[in-house]
Amino acid sequence: MHQTQISIKTPGRGYYLITNQIKDAIEQAIETMDAGLLHVFIQHTSASLTINENADPTVREDFKSFEEHLVPRDFPYQHNYEGPDDMPAHIKSTLMGCQLTVPVSIGRLALGTWQGIYLCEHRDSPQQRTLILTLYS
């Protein structure tokens, strides 16, 4: 088993492709693995992770539009200590999830041709996000 932590700064709300940052962080540990699993966990309640289309950037814009439709800011939330994006960010994080598991095959992440790992930032302002990466062989 190998574990490492990475920190990613986001400029605010959006979907950020982080596949390469993850690959860079585990590069030495993964290169000798024939088979295994990578577990990715984000230590936050207002951001999430997903695997999806990594080629067409309009997918990211559609995600943003749909999430605003699905979880509107003008709903009468009680929890709003940090502003109008606070509770919607928590709900979006719960819906999308805080962890992913990716197979490792012959020294690389076994993602599909058009798959990438995204950090989904649900807060409007810039954030520093911490991810824990755990490799199991």
What lies within 8 Å, CB to CB, of 4 at 6+ separation is 25, 26, 29, 132, 133
Phi/psi of residue 83, each to 5°?
Answer: 115, 180
Residue range 8-20: mean pLDDT, rounded = 97
Q: What pLDDT score was predicted for residue 80?
A: 86
46 neighbors 126 (Cβ within 8 angstroms): no
In whole angstroms, give the CA distance from residue 107 to residue 26: 10
Q: What pLDDT score was predicted for residue 15?
A: 96
73 neighbors 88 (Cβ within 8 angstroms): yes
pLDDT of 81 above 90: no
**Region of residue 107 (phi > 0: left; psi between -120 and 50: alpha; otherwise: beta):** left
Q: What pLDDT score was predicted for residue 77?
A: 94
Render pLDDT for 33-56 as a digit per residue (tens, 0 to 9).
Answer: 999 999 999 999 999 999 999 999
* Amino acid in the structure at residue 132: I
